Amino acid sequence: MNTSSPTRVRFAPSPTGYLHIGGARTALYNYLFAKINGGSMVLRIEDTDRNRYIKDSEKQLIKDLKWLGISWDEGPDVGGIYSPYTQSERTKLHRSHAEQLVNIGKAYYCFCDKARLQSIRSKHKGYDEHCREIDTDIALERVTSGEEHTIRFRSPKQGTTTVDDLIRKNITVKNEQLEDFVLFKADGFPVYHLAAMVDDHLMGITHVIRGEEWLSSIAKHALIIRAFGWSEPIWCHLSVLTQPGGKGKMSKRDTKTDEQDDNHSIFIHDLRSKGYHPEAIINWMVLMGWSLDDKQENFKLADLEAVFNLERINPSPAAVNFGKLDHFQGKHIRQMSDSEVAANIQPFLLKSGITPDKEMLLKLVPLIKNRITTFEDSVEWLSFFFTKEIMLSPSEFTNKKSTKEETLVILQEVKLTLEQLPKYKHENIESELRLLADKMNLKLGQLLNPVRLAISGQKVSPPLFETLELLGDYLVNSRIEKAIKLLENI
C-alpha cells in the first residue's frame, strides 16, 4: 500500500433493501475517515446480484444517507473521474479483468451447469474442480462457440494466506479451505468478490472500512488482488452489531430486534419518520464500536470530523441499545432553540391533520421540550390544543379517591374560580387553584386531575397552569362545562 497517496475510501452498499444502522455506521466511519484525512469518499452501488436487487432501494439509500448528513465526493448521483459508480454499468471492465486472470493462469473457464453443481453438492463441500484442468485453448474454443460458462478463480490448495487488518492484525486462512470460487457468472454479471476488488483498484481506494461479515471473504479478496499484482488497501473490519442484550448477531435481513417497539427500528427511514433527529442518530451510531477516550460521549457530526480515528475502533461486538438513542435524542432536543424544535415538530402535527398556529406552537414548545423523546411524541402532547372536540370518557373521572359527586363539585368550583380571575395568567391560575384546594381540603393533585382530564381528554398533559393559560379562558370554560354535563348525565 502506497501510504503517500491521498486517502480514498468507499461505501459500497448493495441495493438489496433499506439503509439500516449497520450500513449507516459503515458509511459514517468511511465519511469521517475521509474528512479527517482530507481525502475523498466514493459511493459505489454494488448491484450485480440481480436476484437480490430491490428497485428504489438505491434512491432511498441516497436519501437516508443525505438526511443523516453523510456526503460523498464521487458517486452515481454526483459523478466523478472514475464514473460509472454503479457496478452493473461496469460489467465489461469486470469481464475483461476476469479474462485477464484466465490469460495468466489464475482463473479458468468452467462449463458445469446448475444440475451438475447440484448433484455434486452432497459429496463435495464446494466445487469439485471438474473444469480446472481443461486445456486453455479447448476451453477458449468452447467459450467462443457460445457455450454457457462461468469464470472461476484458481485458488491455491496448499499453504496459507495471511492478510493484515488494521484492527484485528494478522488473519491467516488455510488455503485448503478455499474452493475455486466463481468470479464471473453465466448471466453476464461479475460476482461481488471480483467486482469489488477490481473497482477498488481502479478507483484508487486506499482503505477498505467495512462490516465484519466480510472478514470471511478477506482471503479471497487478497488473493484476487495479489493475482493481479496490485497492492492491497488497508483493511479495517468493523465490529459486528448485536441485538440488544447480546442476543446474537443483528443481520441486515432482520426487520426487528427483540427490543424493537413502535418507536425503535434498525432502519434509518423508520427512525426518521418517527421523528428522531439525525444528529442524535449519528451520536448514537458512532459510539457503537468506537470511542474517543472512553469519557466523552456527546458528539456532533462536525466535532467527529475533527477527532475520528480508526485506531480507537473496538473489534468486539457492539450491542444496539435503543435506550441510548433516546438518551442522545433527548440531549439534542434540549440543545435546540425553541423555534428549531417547533420547525421539527410541525411536519408531524401536519401529518396527523393538525395545522398549528406558528405563534401558538412556539409558546407550547417550552412546555414539552423536556418531555418528548421523538418529534412525533409531540402529537400526543399537543393535539388537544388544536382539536375542536376532545374525547371524554366519563368513567375516567371517577376513581377510588373521588366519586362522581365529588368530581362534579371540584369541576364546578374550579370553573367558578377561573371565571372570576382578573388576569388569565398561569401565576394567577396557580395561586387561586392552590387556595381553592386548601379551602376544599383537597390535595392539589386531587383538584387538578379532573381538570386536566376535562380540558385535554388525557391523564397526562404539559404543566397544567401554563396549559390553561395557553388554551385560554373560552376553551377551558367550555371544556369544563362539557365535562360537568357529561358527569351529570350518568
Interface residues with ligand GLU (CB under 6 A)?
12-14, 46, 196, 210, 214
Positive or negative torsion for Cα 152, 153, 154, 160: negative
Distance in Å, CB of 10 to ligand GLU, minimum: 7
Inter-CA distances, 149 with 94, 96, 110, 152, 183, Å: 15, 15, 5, 10, 11
How far apart are the C-alpha atoms of 300 and 336, rounded to whole Å? 13
Burial of 96 (0-12, 13-18, 19+ CB in 10 A): exposed
Distance in Å, CB of 117 to ligand GLU, minimum: 24
Kindly tell me which of 288 and 390 has the beta carbon lying closer to ligand GLU. Answer: 288
Q: Is the peptide bond before 84 cis (omega within 30 degrees of 0)?
A: yes
Determine how β-strand 150-153 pairs with β-strand 182-184: antiparallel
How far apart are the C-alpha atoms of 474 and 421, rounded to whole Å? 13
Distance in Å, CB of 261 to ligand GLU, minimum: 27
Kindly tell me which of 90 and 369 has the beta carbon lying closer to ligand GLU. Answer: 90
- φ, ψ dihedrals at 151, nearest 5°: -120, 125
Inter-CA distances, 214 with 151, 196, 475, Å: 22, 12, 61
Kindly tell me which of 22 and 275 has the beta carbon lying closer to ligand GLU. Answer: 22
How far apart are the C-alpha atoms of 273 and 263, rounded to whole Å? 9
Kindly tell me which of 44 and 264 has the beta carbon lying closer to ligand GLU. Answer: 44
* Nearest CA-CA partner of 286 in 7, 24, 40: 24
How far apart are the C-alpha atoms of 365 and 370, rounded to whole Å? 9
Per 3-state DSSP, the chain is made up of helix, strand and coil in percentages (nearest 5) of 50, 10, 40
Kindly tell me which of 196 and 468 has the beta carbon lying closer to ligand GLU. Answer: 196
* Nearest CA-CA partner of 230 in 181, 189, 184, 196: 196
Decide: 98 and 184 in contact? Cβ < 8 Å.
yes
Kindly tell me which of 59 and 124 has the beta carbon lying closer to ligand GLU. Answer: 59
Distance in Å, CB of 170 to ligand GLU, minimum: 20
Distance in Å, CB of 89 to ligand GLU, minimum: 15
Residue type, 76: P
How far apart are the C-alpha atoms of 430 and 448, rounded to whole Å? 10
Q: Cell for 252?
A: 441486515
Catalytic residue, chosen from 63, 185, 252, 404, is 252
Distance in Å, CB of 216 to ligand GLU, minimum: 12
Kindly tell me which of 136 and 216 has the beta carbon lying closer to ligand GLU. Answer: 216
Q: Cell numbers 376544599 label which residue?
A: 440
**Is 252 known to be catalytic?**
yes
Distance in Å, CB of 330 to ligand GLU, minimum: 32
Distance in Å, CB of 451 to ligand GLU, minimum: 56
Kindly tell me which of 203 and 442 has the beta carbon lying closer to ligand GLU. Answer: 203
Catalytic annotation, residues: 252
